A and B are shown apart, each in its own frame.
Chain A
Protein backbone atom coordinates (compact mmCIF):
# COMPACT_ATOMS: atom_id res chain seq x y z
CA UNK A 1 0.00 0.00 0.00
CA UNK A 2 0.97 3.61 -0.26
CA UNK A 3 3.05 5.58 2.17
CA UNK A 4 0.17 7.73 3.30
CA UNK A 5 -1.73 4.70 4.52
CA UNK A 6 1.02 4.12 7.04
CA UNK A 7 1.54 7.75 7.90
CA UNK A 8 -2.14 8.36 8.74
CA UNK A 9 -4.35 6.26 10.94
CA UNK A 10 -5.71 3.48 8.75
CA UNK A 11 -9.44 4.01 8.25
CA UNK A 12 -12.16 2.10 6.47
CA UNK A 13 -12.61 2.60 2.73
CA UNK A 14 -15.32 4.95 1.43
CA UNK A 15 -15.05 4.04 -2.27
CA UNK A 16 -13.91 0.66 -3.58
CA UNK A 17 -13.35 0.39 -7.32
CA UNK A 18 -12.59 -3.25 -7.99
CA UNK A 19 -11.36 -4.34 -11.41
CA UNK A 20 -13.65 -1.95 -13.22
CA UNK A 21 -13.70 -1.82 -17.03
CA UNK A 22 -15.95 0.25 -19.19
CA UNK A 23 -16.44 -0.48 -22.85
CA UNK A 24 -18.85 1.62 -24.88
CA UNK A 25 -21.19 0.31 -27.55
CA UNK A 26 -18.87 1.80 -30.16
CA UNK A 27 -16.15 -0.58 -28.97
CA UNK A 28 -14.05 2.14 -27.38
CA UNK A 29 -12.53 1.07 -24.06
CA UNK A 30 -12.67 3.96 -21.63
CA UNK A 31 -11.43 2.15 -18.54
CA UNK A 32 -9.57 -1.13 -18.14
CA UNK A 33 -9.21 -3.07 -14.91
CA UNK A 34 -9.12 -0.09 -12.60
CA UNK A 35 -8.45 -0.83 -8.93
CA UNK A 36 -8.74 2.07 -6.54
CA UNK A 37 -9.67 2.57 -2.93
CA UNK A 38 -10.50 5.90 -1.36
CA UNK A 39 -10.51 6.01 2.42
CA UNK A 40 -13.15 7.72 4.54
CA UNK A 41 -12.43 11.41 4.85
CA UNK A 42 -9.64 11.23 2.30
CA UNK A 43 -9.10 13.86 -0.37
CA UNK A 44 -8.00 11.92 -3.43
CA UNK A 45 -6.93 13.77 -6.56
CA UNK A 46 -7.18 11.85 -9.80
CA UNK A 47 -5.09 13.23 -12.66
CA UNK A 48 -4.67 12.13 -16.24
CA UNK A 49 -4.41 13.44 -19.77
CA UNK A 50 -7.32 13.53 -22.22
CA UNK A 51 -8.94 10.18 -22.86
CA UNK A 52 -8.06 8.66 -19.51
CA UNK A 53 -11.71 8.10 -18.67
CA UNK A 54 -11.70 10.36 -15.60
CA UNK A 55 -15.24 11.52 -16.17
CA UNK A 56 -16.37 7.98 -17.02
CA UNK A 57 -14.97 6.79 -13.71
CA UNK A 58 -16.81 9.51 -11.80
CA UNK A 59 -20.06 8.66 -13.57
CA UNK A 60 -19.61 5.04 -12.54
CA UNK A 61 -18.99 5.99 -8.92
CA UNK A 62 -21.92 8.42 -9.01
CA UNK A 63 -24.19 5.65 -10.28
CA UNK A 64 -25.07 7.57 -13.46
CA UNK A 65 -23.60 4.71 -15.49
CA UNK A 66 -22.68 1.08 -14.80
CA UNK A 67 -19.37 -0.70 -15.45
CA UNK A 68 -19.00 -3.37 -18.15
CA UNK A 69 -17.07 -5.60 -15.76
CA UNK A 70 -15.92 -5.28 -12.16
CA UNK A 71 -17.77 -3.46 -9.45
CA UNK A 72 -17.94 -0.18 -7.62
CA UNK A 73 -19.03 -0.17 -4.00
CA UNK A 74 -19.51 2.75 -1.68
CA UNK A 75 -19.19 1.59 1.93
CA UNK A 76 -18.57 5.24 2.76
CA UNK A 77 -22.16 6.26 2.07
CA UNK A 78 -24.04 8.38 -0.43
CA UNK A 79 -22.22 10.24 -3.21
CA UNK A 80 -22.99 13.36 -5.14
CA UNK A 81 -21.30 14.76 -8.22
CA UNK A 82 -20.17 18.29 -9.05
CA UNK A 83 -19.67 19.03 -12.73
CA UNK A 84 -17.22 21.29 -14.48
CA UNK A 85 -20.09 23.66 -15.25
CA UNK A 86 -22.19 24.55 -12.24
CA UNK A 87 -25.26 22.95 -13.91
CA UNK A 88 -27.62 25.17 -11.91
CA UNK A 89 -31.25 25.31 -12.98
CA UNK A 90 -31.46 28.70 -14.71
CA UNK A 91 -35.12 29.27 -13.83
CA UNK A 92 -34.42 28.95 -10.11
CA UNK A 93 -32.68 31.46 -7.87
CA UNK A 94 -29.48 30.46 -6.07
CA UNK A 95 -31.54 29.68 -2.97
CA UNK A 96 -34.13 27.86 -5.10
CA UNK A 97 -31.44 25.57 -6.49
CA UNK A 98 -30.27 24.67 -3.01
CA UNK A 99 -33.85 24.29 -1.77
CA UNK A 100 -34.67 21.87 -4.58
CA UNK A 101 -31.88 19.58 -3.40
CA UNK A 102 -33.32 19.72 0.12
CA UNK A 103 -36.85 19.16 -1.15
CA UNK A 104 -35.87 16.09 -3.15
CA UNK A 105 -34.36 14.77 0.05
CA UNK A 106 -37.69 15.23 1.82
CA UNK A 107 -36.85 18.27 3.95
CA UNK A 108 -39.94 20.26 5.01
CA UNK A 109 -40.76 23.64 3.51
CA UNK A 110 -39.96 25.88 6.48
CA UNK A 111 -36.74 24.05 7.24
CA UNK A 112 -35.66 24.25 3.58
CA UNK A 113 -35.57 28.05 3.60
CA UNK A 114 -33.53 28.16 6.76
CA UNK A 115 -31.14 25.44 5.65
CA UNK A 116 -30.56 27.06 2.25
CA UNK A 117 -29.58 30.33 3.91
CA UNK A 118 -27.14 28.43 6.12
CA UNK A 119 -25.60 26.60 3.18
CA UNK A 120 -25.18 29.78 1.15
CA UNK A 121 -23.53 31.38 4.18
CA UNK A 122 -21.19 28.40 4.32
CA UNK A 123 -19.95 29.09 0.78
CA UNK A 124 -19.75 32.84 1.44
CA UNK A 125 -22.78 33.80 -0.59
CA UNK A 126 -24.81 35.45 2.17
CA UNK A 127 -27.50 37.69 0.72
CA UNK A 128 -27.10 36.28 -2.80
CA UNK A 129 -29.97 33.81 -2.46
CA UNK A 130 -32.33 35.84 -4.62
CA UNK A 131 -29.92 36.06 -7.54
CA UNK A 132 -30.46 33.93 -10.59
CA UNK A 133 -27.54 31.91 -11.98
CA UNK A 134 -26.96 34.31 -14.88
CA UNK A 135 -26.58 37.15 -12.41
CA UNK A 136 -23.67 35.41 -10.71
CA UNK A 137 -20.02 35.10 -11.75
CA UNK A 138 -18.57 31.70 -12.68
CA UNK A 139 -16.93 31.33 -9.29
CA UNK A 140 -20.15 32.24 -7.47
CA UNK A 141 -22.13 29.76 -9.56
CA UNK A 142 -19.71 27.01 -8.72
CA UNK A 143 -20.10 27.83 -5.03
CA UNK A 144 -23.88 27.65 -5.34
CA UNK A 145 -23.39 24.22 -6.96
CA UNK A 146 -21.20 23.27 -4.01
CA UNK A 147 -23.87 24.47 -1.56
CA UNK A 148 -26.47 22.47 -3.50
CA UNK A 149 -24.27 19.38 -3.35
CA UNK A 150 -23.75 19.85 0.40
CA UNK A 151 -27.53 20.21 0.80
CA UNK A 152 -27.75 16.54 -0.10
CA UNK A 153 -25.58 15.82 2.95
CA UNK A 154 -23.38 13.53 0.88
CA UNK A 155 -20.76 11.34 2.49
CA UNK A 156 -18.77 11.35 -0.71
CA UNK A 157 -18.19 14.35 -2.95
CA UNK A 158 -17.22 13.55 -6.54
CA UNK A 159 -15.81 16.52 -8.38
CA UNK A 160 -15.28 16.56 -12.15
CA UNK A 161 -12.79 19.37 -12.86
CA UNK A 162 -15.04 21.75 -10.93
CA UNK A 163 -12.68 24.73 -11.17
CA UNK A 164 -11.43 24.03 -14.70
CA UNK A 165 -13.37 26.90 -16.26
CA UNK A 166 -12.42 29.52 -13.67
CA UNK A 167 -9.65 32.11 -13.71
CA UNK A 168 -6.55 31.49 -11.57
CA UNK A 169 -7.44 34.00 -8.86
CA UNK A 170 -10.92 32.62 -8.32
CA UNK A 171 -9.64 29.07 -8.46
CA UNK A 172 -7.04 29.83 -5.83
CA UNK A 173 -9.63 31.20 -3.42
CA UNK A 174 -11.97 28.29 -4.08
CA UNK A 175 -9.16 25.87 -3.24
CA UNK A 176 -8.94 27.48 0.21
CA UNK A 177 -12.72 27.35 0.43
CA UNK A 178 -12.99 23.70 -0.54
CA UNK A 179 -10.19 22.71 1.82
CA UNK A 180 -11.98 24.45 4.69
CA UNK A 181 -15.33 22.80 3.94
CA UNK A 182 -13.66 19.42 3.56
CA UNK A 183 -11.93 19.70 6.93
CA UNK A 184 -15.11 20.98 8.61
CA UNK A 185 -17.46 18.32 7.25
CA UNK A 186 -15.13 15.33 7.06
CA UNK A 187 -16.57 14.43 3.65
CA UNK A 188 -14.65 12.05 1.39
CA UNK A 189 -13.59 13.76 -1.85
CA UNK A 190 -12.67 12.21 -5.17
CA UNK A 191 -11.42 15.12 -7.22
CA UNK A 192 -10.71 14.75 -10.93
CA UNK A 193 -8.49 17.31 -12.63
CA UNK A 194 -6.01 17.68 -15.45
CA UNK A 195 -4.24 20.37 -13.47
CA UNK A 196 -1.35 18.70 -11.64
CA UNK A 197 -0.65 21.69 -9.39
CA UNK A 198 -4.26 21.74 -8.32
CA UNK A 199 -3.98 18.04 -7.45
CA UNK A 200 -0.84 18.65 -5.36
CA UNK A 201 -2.45 21.67 -3.71
CA UNK A 202 -5.56 19.78 -2.61
CA UNK A 203 -4.98 16.03 -2.45
CA UNK A 204 -3.92 13.71 0.34
CA UNK A 205 -2.89 11.42 -2.45
CA UNK A 206 -2.58 11.78 -6.22
CA UNK A 207 -3.48 8.92 -8.53
CA UNK A 208 -2.32 9.11 -12.14
CA UNK A 209 -4.40 7.42 -14.83
CA UNK A 210 -3.15 6.27 -18.21
CA UNK A 211 -5.03 7.19 -21.36
CA UNK A 212 -6.92 4.96 -23.81
CA UNK A 213 -7.71 2.87 -21.98
CA UNK A 214 -7.68 4.41 -18.53
CA UNK A 215 -5.72 2.41 -15.99
CA UNK A 216 -4.04 3.33 -12.70
CA UNK A 217 -0.46 4.19 -13.68
CA UNK A 218 1.07 5.58 -10.53
CA UNK A 219 0.29 6.85 -7.09
CA UNK A 220 1.88 9.77 -5.26
CA UNK A 221 1.40 10.43 -1.55
CA UNK A 222 1.22 14.13 -0.74
CA UNK A 223 3.11 14.62 2.49
CA UNK A 224 2.78 18.36 2.65
CA UNK A 225 1.29 20.11 5.68
CA UNK A 226 -2.01 21.91 5.34
CA UNK A 227 -3.03 24.58 4.77
CA UNK A 228 -1.06 24.70 1.55
CA UNK A 229 -0.56 27.27 -1.12
CA UNK A 230 -0.47 26.41 -4.79
CA UNK A 231 2.71 28.45 -5.35
CA UNK A 232 4.62 27.00 -2.36
CA UNK A 233 7.88 25.12 -3.15
CA UNK A 234 6.81 21.67 -1.85
CA UNK A 235 3.61 21.78 -3.94
CA UNK A 236 5.57 22.88 -7.02
CA UNK A 237 8.19 20.20 -6.45
CA UNK A 238 5.60 17.44 -6.29
CA UNK A 239 3.79 18.91 -9.31
CA UNK A 240 7.04 18.69 -11.31
CA UNK A 241 7.39 15.04 -10.36
CA UNK A 242 3.81 14.15 -11.29
CA UNK A 243 3.98 16.17 -14.50
CA UNK A 244 7.08 14.24 -15.57
CA UNK A 245 5.19 10.98 -15.13
CA UNK A 246 2.18 12.39 -16.95
CA UNK A 247 4.31 13.56 -19.88
CA UNK A 248 5.86 10.14 -20.23
CA UNK A 249 2.43 8.63 -20.30
CA UNK A 250 1.30 11.09 -22.98
CA UNK A 251 4.46 10.50 -25.05
CA UNK A 252 3.60 6.80 -25.19
CA UNK A 253 0.70 7.69 -27.49
CA UNK A 254 2.80 9.55 -30.05
CA UNK A 255 4.37 7.91 -33.05
Chain B
Protein backbone atom coordinates (compact mmCIF):
# COMPACT_ATOMS: atom_id res chain seq x y z
CA UNK B 1 0.00 0.00 0.00
CA UNK B 2 2.17 2.84 -1.29
CA UNK B 3 1.47 6.38 -0.21
CA UNK B 4 0.75 8.30 -3.36
CA UNK B 5 2.67 11.59 -3.12
CA UNK B 6 0.00 13.54 -4.98
CA UNK B 7 -2.68 12.05 -2.76
CA UNK B 8 -0.74 13.15 0.35
CA UNK B 9 -0.45 16.68 -1.07
CA UNK B 10 -4.20 16.81 -1.59
CA UNK B 11 -4.98 15.48 1.88
CA UNK B 12 -2.64 17.93 3.56
CA UNK B 13 -3.95 20.94 1.67
CA UNK B 14 -7.50 19.82 2.37
CA UNK B 15 -6.78 19.61 6.08
CA UNK B 16 -5.05 23.00 6.02
CA UNK B 17 -8.05 24.57 4.31
CA UNK B 18 -10.39 23.09 6.92
CA UNK B 19 -8.27 24.27 9.81
CA UNK B 20 -7.84 27.72 8.38
CA UNK B 21 -10.12 30.10 10.20
CA UNK B 22 -11.50 32.77 7.89
CA UNK B 23 -13.17 34.57 10.82
CA UNK B 24 -9.75 35.24 12.31
CA UNK B 25 -9.05 38.02 9.86
CA UNK B 26 -12.02 40.38 10.15
CA UNK B 27 -12.26 43.93 8.85
CA UNK B 28 -10.53 46.61 10.84
CA UNK B 29 -12.74 49.53 9.87
CA UNK B 30 -15.67 48.29 11.92
CA UNK B 31 -13.52 47.96 15.04
CA UNK B 32 -12.15 51.48 14.46
CA UNK B 33 -15.66 52.86 14.32
CA UNK B 34 -16.70 50.97 17.44
CA UNK B 35 -13.72 52.46 19.28
CA UNK B 36 -14.39 56.05 18.21
CA UNK B 37 -17.96 56.54 19.28
CA UNK B 38 -17.47 55.86 23.03
CA UNK B 39 -14.68 58.45 23.00
CA UNK B 40 -16.95 61.01 21.38
CA UNK B 41 -19.69 60.24 23.88
CA UNK B 42 -17.26 60.71 26.78
CA UNK B 43 -16.17 64.05 25.33
CA UNK B 44 -19.76 65.24 25.00
CA UNK B 45 -20.49 64.17 28.59
CA UNK B 46 -17.43 65.99 29.96
CA UNK B 47 -18.20 69.22 28.11
CA UNK B 48 -21.85 68.93 29.14
CA UNK B 49 -20.89 68.57 32.82
CA UNK B 50 -18.62 71.58 32.55
CA UNK B 51 -21.46 73.59 30.97
CA UNK B 52 -23.80 72.52 33.80
CA UNK B 53 -21.36 73.69 36.48
CA UNK B 54 -21.07 77.04 34.73
CA UNK B 55 -24.86 77.37 34.39
CA UNK B 56 -25.33 76.51 38.09
CA UNK B 57 -23.57 79.77 38.93
CA UNK B 58 -21.10 78.15 41.35
CA UNK B 59 -18.40 80.58 40.18
CA UNK B 60 -18.70 83.69 38.06
CA UNK B 61 -17.96 83.18 34.35
CA UNK B 62 -15.05 85.53 34.86
CA UNK B 63 -13.28 82.78 36.84
CA UNK B 64 -14.89 79.74 35.22
CA UNK B 65 -15.84 80.52 31.64
CA UNK B 66 -18.19 78.23 29.68
CA UNK B 67 -16.79 75.74 27.15
CA UNK B 68 -17.80 77.89 24.18
CA UNK B 69 -15.66 80.81 25.38
CA UNK B 70 -12.69 78.56 26.03
CA UNK B 71 -12.94 76.77 22.70
CA UNK B 72 -13.07 80.05 20.82
CA UNK B 73 -10.04 81.12 22.89
CA UNK B 74 -8.25 77.95 21.76
CA UNK B 75 -8.90 78.79 18.13
CA UNK B 76 -7.81 82.40 18.75
CA UNK B 77 -4.46 81.50 20.31
CA UNK B 78 -3.89 78.92 17.57
CA UNK B 79 -3.61 81.91 15.24
CA UNK B 80 -0.96 83.72 17.30
CA UNK B 81 2.79 83.42 16.89
CA UNK B 82 3.28 83.36 20.67
CA UNK B 83 1.36 80.09 20.92
CA UNK B 84 3.37 78.34 18.25
CA UNK B 85 6.63 79.62 19.69
CA UNK B 86 5.66 78.30 23.14
CA UNK B 87 4.53 75.01 21.66
CA UNK B 88 7.79 74.72 19.75
CA UNK B 89 9.89 75.26 22.89
CA UNK B 90 7.84 72.76 24.91
CA UNK B 91 7.83 70.15 22.13
CA UNK B 92 11.58 70.59 21.70
CA UNK B 93 12.19 70.02 25.41
CA UNK B 94 9.87 67.04 25.41
CA UNK B 95 11.63 65.51 22.41
CA UNK B 96 15.15 66.09 23.73
CA UNK B 97 14.29 64.98 27.28
CA UNK B 98 12.37 61.92 26.18
CA UNK B 99 15.04 60.88 23.69
CA UNK B 100 17.71 61.22 26.38
CA UNK B 101 15.51 59.21 28.76
CA UNK B 102 15.16 56.46 26.16
CA UNK B 103 18.92 56.36 25.69
CA UNK B 104 19.68 56.30 29.43
CA UNK B 105 16.79 53.96 30.30
CA UNK B 106 17.62 51.45 27.55
CA UNK B 107 21.30 51.25 28.39
CA UNK B 108 20.64 50.86 32.12
CA UNK B 109 17.77 48.45 31.47
CA UNK B 110 19.83 46.28 29.12
CA UNK B 111 22.75 46.15 31.55
CA UNK B 112 20.59 45.36 34.57
CA UNK B 113 18.55 42.77 32.66
CA UNK B 114 21.57 40.84 31.44
CA UNK B 115 24.08 41.16 34.30
CA UNK B 116 22.95 39.25 37.39
CA UNK B 117 24.99 41.00 40.13
CA UNK B 118 23.94 44.39 38.77
CA UNK B 119 20.33 43.25 39.02
CA UNK B 120 20.59 42.48 42.73
CA UNK B 121 22.48 45.71 43.31
CA UNK B 122 20.31 48.29 41.55
CA UNK B 123 17.13 46.47 40.50
CA UNK B 124 15.02 47.73 43.39
CA UNK B 125 16.71 51.13 43.28
CA UNK B 126 15.24 51.68 39.82
CA UNK B 127 11.75 50.90 41.08
CA UNK B 128 12.39 53.26 43.99
CA UNK B 129 13.35 56.04 41.61
CA UNK B 130 10.24 55.32 39.59
CA UNK B 131 7.97 55.98 42.56
CA UNK B 132 9.77 59.20 43.48
CA UNK B 133 7.90 62.30 42.26
CA UNK B 134 10.27 63.89 39.79
CA UNK B 135 9.35 67.37 41.02
CA UNK B 136 11.32 66.49 44.16
CA UNK B 137 14.45 66.59 41.99
CA UNK B 138 13.86 70.19 40.97
CA UNK B 139 15.65 72.04 43.75
CA UNK B 140 18.72 69.84 43.21
CA UNK B 141 18.50 70.28 39.44
CA UNK B 142 18.54 74.07 39.85
CA UNK B 143 21.54 73.84 42.19
CA UNK B 144 23.39 71.60 39.78
CA UNK B 145 22.54 73.28 36.48
CA UNK B 146 21.42 76.81 37.48
CA UNK B 147 17.94 77.81 36.23
CA UNK B 148 18.50 76.58 32.68
CA UNK B 149 17.26 74.25 29.94
CA UNK B 150 19.59 71.59 31.33
CA UNK B 151 17.79 71.65 34.69
CA UNK B 152 14.43 71.00 33.01
CA UNK B 153 15.81 68.23 30.79
CA UNK B 154 17.51 66.65 33.82
CA UNK B 155 14.20 66.32 35.63
CA UNK B 156 12.41 65.00 32.55
CA UNK B 157 15.07 62.31 32.12
CA UNK B 158 14.93 61.32 35.79
CA UNK B 159 11.16 61.12 35.55
CA UNK B 160 11.04 58.91 32.47
CA UNK B 161 14.19 56.78 32.44
CA UNK B 162 13.30 54.44 35.36
CA UNK B 163 10.02 53.41 33.72
CA UNK B 164 11.74 52.78 30.42
CA UNK B 165 14.47 50.73 32.11
CA UNK B 166 11.90 48.75 34.11
CA UNK B 167 9.87 48.00 30.99
CA UNK B 168 12.94 46.52 29.33
CA UNK B 169 13.96 44.54 32.42
CA UNK B 170 10.44 43.14 32.87
CA UNK B 171 10.27 42.25 29.21
CA UNK B 172 13.59 40.39 29.25
CA UNK B 173 12.53 38.54 32.42
CA UNK B 174 9.37 37.31 30.76
CA UNK B 175 10.83 36.03 27.50
CA UNK B 176 9.52 32.46 27.13
CA UNK B 177 12.44 30.06 27.83
CA UNK B 178 11.31 27.91 24.91
CA UNK B 179 12.01 30.75 22.48
CA UNK B 180 15.46 31.22 23.97
CA UNK B 181 16.15 27.51 23.54
CA UNK B 182 14.84 27.65 19.97
CA UNK B 183 17.07 30.63 19.27
CA UNK B 184 20.10 28.86 20.69
CA UNK B 185 19.27 25.81 18.59
CA UNK B 186 19.31 28.08 15.52
CA UNK B 187 22.84 29.03 16.45
CA UNK B 188 22.18 32.41 18.09
CA UNK B 189 24.39 33.19 21.08
CA UNK B 190 25.12 36.27 23.21
CA UNK B 191 24.37 39.56 21.42
CA UNK B 192 22.92 37.77 18.38
CA UNK B 193 20.46 35.93 20.61
CA UNK B 194 19.62 39.22 22.37
CA UNK B 195 18.99 40.98 19.09
CA UNK B 196 16.99 38.31 17.27
CA UNK B 197 15.11 36.65 20.11
CA UNK B 198 15.23 38.35 23.51
CA UNK B 199 14.72 41.95 22.42
CA UNK B 200 11.83 41.33 20.00
CA UNK B 201 10.18 39.06 22.56
CA UNK B 202 10.52 41.82 25.18
CA UNK B 203 9.12 44.48 22.86
CA UNK B 204 5.52 44.62 24.14
CA UNK B 205 6.77 45.16 27.69
CA UNK B 206 9.33 47.71 26.46
CA UNK B 207 6.55 49.58 24.75
CA UNK B 208 4.59 49.61 28.02
CA UNK B 209 7.66 51.10 29.70
CA UNK B 210 8.04 53.69 26.96
CA UNK B 211 4.39 54.67 27.29
CA UNK B 212 4.60 55.04 31.04
CA UNK B 213 7.92 56.85 30.62
CA UNK B 214 6.28 59.32 28.28
CA UNK B 215 3.52 60.04 30.80
CA UNK B 216 6.14 60.73 33.48
CA UNK B 217 8.21 62.84 31.08
CA UNK B 218 5.24 64.98 30.13
CA UNK B 219 4.22 65.55 33.75
CA UNK B 220 7.76 66.36 34.78
CA UNK B 221 8.08 68.77 31.89
CA UNK B 222 4.90 70.65 32.80
CA UNK B 223 5.95 70.84 36.46
CA UNK B 224 9.38 72.03 35.41
CA UNK B 225 8.07 74.68 33.06
CA UNK B 226 5.75 76.06 35.72
CA UNK B 227 8.50 76.22 38.34
CA UNK B 228 11.28 77.42 36.12
CA UNK B 229 10.33 80.21 33.78
CA UNK B 230 13.20 81.23 31.56
CA UNK B 231 12.53 84.78 30.29
CA UNK B 232 13.89 84.18 26.80
CA UNK B 233 12.14 80.84 26.36
CA UNK B 234 8.33 81.14 26.41
CA UNK B 235 6.76 77.69 26.78
CA UNK B 236 3.35 76.14 27.38
CA UNK B 237 4.15 76.12 31.11
CA UNK B 238 5.19 79.74 31.19
CA UNK B 239 2.07 80.69 29.20
CA UNK B 240 -0.07 78.96 31.85
CA UNK B 241 1.71 80.92 34.56
CA UNK B 242 1.33 84.10 32.55
CA UNK B 243 -2.42 83.55 32.14
CA UNK B 244 -2.80 83.05 35.89
CA UNK B 245 -0.88 86.30 36.59
CA UNK B 246 -3.30 88.12 34.31
CA UNK B 247 -6.28 86.26 35.82
CA UNK B 248 -7.18 85.41 32.24
CA UNK B 249 -9.28 82.28 32.83
CA UNK B 250 -10.18 81.58 29.16
CA UNK B 251 -6.47 81.75 28.19
CA UNK B 252 -5.50 79.53 31.14
CA UNK B 253 -8.10 76.91 30.29
CA UNK B 254 -7.24 77.10 26.60
CA UNK B 255 -3.62 76.19 27.38
CA UNK B 256 -4.77 73.45 29.72
CA UNK B 257 -6.79 71.97 26.88
CA UNK B 258 -3.69 72.11 24.69
CA UNK B 259 -1.75 70.17 27.35
CA UNK B 260 -4.54 67.62 27.61
CA UNK B 261 -4.87 67.19 23.85
CA UNK B 262 -1.12 66.63 23.44
CA UNK B 263 -1.18 64.03 26.21
CA UNK B 264 -4.17 62.21 24.74
CA UNK B 265 -2.71 62.38 21.23
CA UNK B 266 0.62 60.83 22.19
CA UNK B 267 -1.10 58.21 24.32
CA UNK B 268 -3.29 57.35 21.34
CA UNK B 269 -0.20 56.97 19.16
CA UNK B 270 1.31 54.55 21.70
CA UNK B 271 -1.99 52.68 21.83
CA UNK B 272 -2.02 52.34 18.03
CA UNK B 273 1.54 50.97 17.94
CA UNK B 274 0.76 48.62 20.83
CA UNK B 275 -2.42 47.38 19.15
CA UNK B 276 -0.57 46.71 15.89
CA UNK B 277 2.15 44.83 17.75
CA UNK B 278 -0.37 42.67 19.59
CA UNK B 279 -2.42 41.93 16.50
CA UNK B 280 0.68 40.83 14.61
CA UNK B 281 1.58 38.45 17.40
CA UNK B 282 -1.91 37.08 17.81
CA UNK B 283 -2.28 38.53 21.32
CA UNK B 284 -5.68 40.02 20.53
CA UNK B 285 -8.78 37.91 20.92
CA UNK B 286 -10.51 38.37 17.59
CA UNK B 287 -13.68 36.68 18.83
CA UNK B 288 -14.73 39.66 20.90
The interface of chain A, by Cβ under 8 A from chain B, is 62, 64, 80-81, 83, 85, 87-91, 100-101, 104-105, 124-125, 132-135, 137, 139-140, 148, 152, 169-170, 173, 176-177, 179-180, 227, 229, 232
Q: How far is the CA of A81 from the CA of B184 in the complex (A)?
A: 10
Contact of A83 among B25, B181, B277, B281 (CB under 8 A): B181
Q: How far is the CA of A177 from the CA of B13 in the complex (A)?
A: 12
Asked whether, in the complex, the Cβ of B8 is within 8 Å of the Cβ of A180, the reply is: yes
Q: Which residue of B lies closest to A81 (CB)?
A: B185
Q: A64-B184, A152-B187, A169-B15 are in contact. Are A134 and B281 (CB under 8 A)?
A: yes
Q: How far is the CA of A80 from the CA of B182 in the complex (A)?
A: 9
A selection of 16 A-B contacts at a CB cut-off of 8 Å is A101-B186, A104-B188, A132-B281, A133-B282, A139-B15, A139-B16, A148-B186, A169-B15, A170-B19, A173-B8, A177-B12, A179-B3, A180-B3, A180-B5, A180-B8, A227-B1
Which of B195-203, B205-213, B266-274 lies on the face that meets chain A?
B195-203
Asked whether, in the complex, the Cβ of A100 is within 8 Å of the Cβ of B186, the reply is: yes
Contact of A104 among B2, B9, B196 (CB under 8 A): B196
Q: Which residue of A lies closest to B197 (CB)?
A: A89
Q: Is B280 an interface residue (CB 8 A)?
A: yes
Q: How far is the CA of A134 from the CA of B182 in the complex (A)?
A: 17
Asked whether, in the complex, the Cβ of A173 is within 8 Å of the Cβ of B15, the reply is: yes
Interface string of B29-70 (1 = CB under 8 A from A): 000000000000000000000000000000000000000000
Q: Which 5 A-B pairs rank lowest in CB-CB distance, beginning with the nearest?
A: A134-B282, A137-B19, A87-B182, A90-B281, A227-B3
Asked whether, in the complex, the Cβ of B200 is within 8 Å of the Cβ of A91, the reply is: yes
Q: Which residues of B contact A140 (CB under 8 A)?
A: 16, 19
Report the minimal beta-carbon distance from B224 to chain A, rounded to whole angstroms: 37
Size category, B interface: 35 or more
Judged by DSSP, the binding face of B is: helix
Report the minimal beta-carbon distance from B2 to chain A, rounded to whole angstroms: 6
Q: Which residue of B lies closest to A80 (CB)?
A: B185
Q: Is B24 an interface residue (CB 8 A)?
A: yes
Q: How far is the CA of A140 from the CA of B178 in the complex (A)?
A: 19
Q: A64-B181, A81-B185, A140-B19 are in contact. Are A132 and B280 (CB under 8 A)?
A: yes
Q: Which residue of A lies closest to B3 (CB)?
A: A227
Q: How far is the CA of A234 from the CA of B277 in the complex (A)?
A: 51
Q: Is B127 an interface residue (CB 8 A)?
A: no
Q: A64-B184, A104-B187, A139-B19 are in contact. Are A173 and B12 (CB under 8 A)?
A: yes
Asked whether, in the complex, the Cβ of B200 is within 8 Å of the Cβ of A176, the reply is: no
Asked whether, in the complex, the Cβ of A87 is within 8 Å of the Cβ of B178, the reply is: yes
Asked whether, in the complex, the Cβ of A135 is within 8 Å of the Cβ of B19, the reply is: no
Q: Which residue of A lies closest to B176 (CB)?
A: A87
Q: How far is the CA of A176 from the CA of B11 in the complex (A)?
A: 11
Interface string of B156-185 (1 = CB under 8 A from A): 000000000000000000000011011111
Q: Is B20 an interface residue (CB 8 A)?
A: yes
Q: Which residues of B contact A88 (CB under 8 A)?
A: 182
Q: Which residues of A contact B196 (CB under 8 A)?
A: 89, 100, 104
Q: A134-B282, A135-B282, A227-B2 are in contact. Are A124 and B9 (CB under 8 A)?
A: yes
